[in-house]
Structure 1
Amino acid sequence: MNALEIKNIDGTAPHGHGVVWMNVPYAEASGRALHLQIIWPPIEDWFTPSQYPTVVFVQGSGWGKQELGQWLLALAEFARRGYVVAIVEHRPSDVAPFPAQVEDLRSAVRFLRENAGQYRIDADRIALWGDSSGGHLAVLTTVTDGVAGAPGVHDDEPLGVRAVVDFYGPSDLSLMPEDPACVQLLGGIDPRQHPDTAAPAAASTHIRPATEQALPPFLVMHGSDDEVVPFEQSVVLGDALVAAGHRIELYRLDGAGHGAGGFFSEPVMDIVDQFLKENLEQ
């Protein structure tokens, strides 16, 4: 009779994966529930109430219905670096036009701060990150933060965001190529024909001198060959921030298109990680 062979391996290695809390409701607006997908990094000791720096990510969608799983694998891999990542669902622009999406992002951050203990979030170390229209919302939410009466802002209590990452987001819709998504965001108004109406959705409208407005640092990445949101949109944002004395790092990814190319490659993620570590330190 053959004897059972038992093989031994080291069982003391650190816990190798995190957790995704799926479809966490954070608000209700326009008759629908809005959700978060919250990703934890690998946690070695589940019984210690450890807290982590947190990235609130806004998935690009032309401000329409979002495919929240589009960058889920990449963001889960990024969470391994020691971050909680919360992917935000906002109202589509065909349900509620601008500034509903800013309102939703603000609500999501407030929910995460209020429930920081449950989701292992360090409420003093929160960053915003978005791609395409999500980058636009991350930037716009930051530059209007704490300004009562600004689009989507109904109080003057700051969110406390300490860093912003913008991947190929538009910054001034009146300077964009013809795009039905921009028109729909503004409730049917073409921003190129009505720049005054589009101005509240432009980041530069709200950027004031650093002596009057405290803004966190910005990291902006944009493809040189972006056929949807021209690279110049990030130059417009960068020029406005620099002129006002704010901090920005702008990278051009040579040969990259709109969301195509090395945006979630390891070298780029290393840059994002280093930027966040520098600006989310205690």
Structure 2
Amino acid sequence: MPDNEAAANIAAPPAQSPMEPLLGYTAATFPRSDEAPEGCRVIDDWEEDDFGHPVDITEETYVTRRLSDGSAVDLPMWIYSPAGVRPPDEGWPVVVFVRGSAFHEQNVLGFTDCCVRIAARGYLVAAPKYRHSDIAPFPAQMQDCKTAVRYVRAHAGRLHADPERVALWGESSGAHTVLMAGFTGDTGPDTEDYQEFSAEVRCIVDWYGPTDFAMMNYYPSAQNHHDPDSPEGWELGHVDVLERLEDSRLASPMTYLVAERPTPPTLIMHGGRDMLVPFNQSCRLYARMRELGKDVTFIKLAEAGHGCRGFRSERALGCVADFLAAHMG
């Protein structure tokens, strides 16, 4: 149909002259158009957006670290924040998310889909990059995680963040990092950055994190976990893990679990077909936490692999969201 003929078939405007803007309405009360050209499919049985808020993503440097060779490295943080809606008076609850990387350099943005989905539910998600093991071995990563928590608290007003409601969430080596940071809080190993702010958190989400390096090779895996070139070997300083058992013990989150010190409630999720981090690693952590009477929830995704075959799903993220809501208020 020629354009001029199509235009002639459009419904006549409701006014004889250009209209002034209609003010004082909301999206729910603004006059609804009754136009429906032939062939237009009309859906009138829903009116709600059901996957959450729009999300803004920004990047900023949260700390500059001096390395052993005298050079310096700026560490960025990506911040996912709900957009288009007024923050709560106390600010958005915060989730500091640490991406896994086999302790090597992270591709933090590779988990943007999950960060956006959590932020859309009404959380400020801060995803920091840590010093990787090629330039700084353990405990650098947990120290950077604590600094990231403190940085968000230090800038809570500007970021519209609630400094009283902060959680940690990590996957793979990032889960090891958040367990270490969350279990130790304001105790060592630590750094001096933003020490006027606390690194303690409300709760922790551990997605398939290693917890006991020395025991990893005793269970089925597609990797050698004790060789100096293994992720765990690099994390301990490019050494054979089984020849450095004390270092491995110090790098185990379970070492820092004691009955006398409160431990944030922890959600563990691990796939039953994980090829890289043996499922038993989460079993060991769960057993130790239960032995000490800690608040811990363990979910096994029986057919899931290492961050796949079930983890990138609304159902898995729903487990995280429900846990956060229960412990963040």
Calculate the TM-score normalised by the size of structure 2. 0.77
The alignment partner of 2:108 has SS state of coil
- For residue 247 of structure 2, the aligned residue among 178, 189, 197 is 197
Partner of 2:297: 249
Quick one: percent identity of the two aligned structures? 33
Partner of 2:75: 34
* Unaligned runs of at least 5 residues, structure 1: none
Count of aligned pairs between the two proteins: 274
Partner of 1:120: 160
Q: Distance in 2 between matches of 1:232 and 1:115?
A: 39
The alignment partner of 2:82 has SS state of coil
Instruction: Kindly report which structure 2 residues correspond to 1:214-229, keeping only aligned pairs within 5 A, or say none.
Output: 214-229=262-277
Partner of 1:213: 261
Bigger RCO (CA 8 Å, 6+ sep): 1
Question: Is contact 2:153–2:197 with CA below 8 Å preserved after alignment?
Answer: no
- Farther-moved stretch of structure 1 (107-116 vs 266-275): 266-275
RMSD: 2.5
- Residue 224 of structure 2 corresponds to residue 184 of structure 1: no
Q: Distance in 2 between matches of 1:259 and 1:197?
A: 27
Q: Distance in 1 between matches of 2:89 and 2:256?
A: 39
- Residue 27 of structure 2 corresponds to residue 12 of structure 1: yes
Q: Per-residue CA shift, 1:177-223, capped at 9, x if unaligned?
A: 323111011111222232112111001111101xx111110000000
Q: Distance in 2 between matches of 1:245 and 1:151?
A: 24
CA shift for structure 1 position 117: 0.9
Q: Per-residue CA shift, 1:76-109, capped at 9, x if unaligned?
A: 0221111111111001110111111111111111
CA shift for structure 1 position 68: 1.0
Q: Distance in 2 between matches of 1:240 and 1:183?
A: 24
- Between structure 1 and structure 2, the one with the greater Rg is 2
Q: Distance in 2 between matches of 1:21 and 1:50?
A: 21
Q: Distance in 1 between matches of 2:118 and 2:74?
A: 27
Code of the aligned partner of 1:76: V
Question: Is contact 1:146–1:153 with CA below 8 Å preserved after alignment?
Answer: no
Instruction: Kindly report which structure 2 residues correspond to 1:1-282, keeping only aligned pairs within 5 A, or say none.
Output: 12=27, 17-22=54-59, 24-29=60-65, 30=67, 31-45=72-86, 51-147=91-187, 150-152=188-190, 158-177=198-217, 178-179=224-225, 180-209=230-259, 212-281=260-329
CA shift for structure 1 position 227: 0.8
Change (3 A) 1:200 1:152: farther
Change (3 A) 1:191 1:158: farther
CA shift for structure 1 position 75: 1.4
Q: Distance in 1 between matches of 2:53 and 2:205?
A: 27
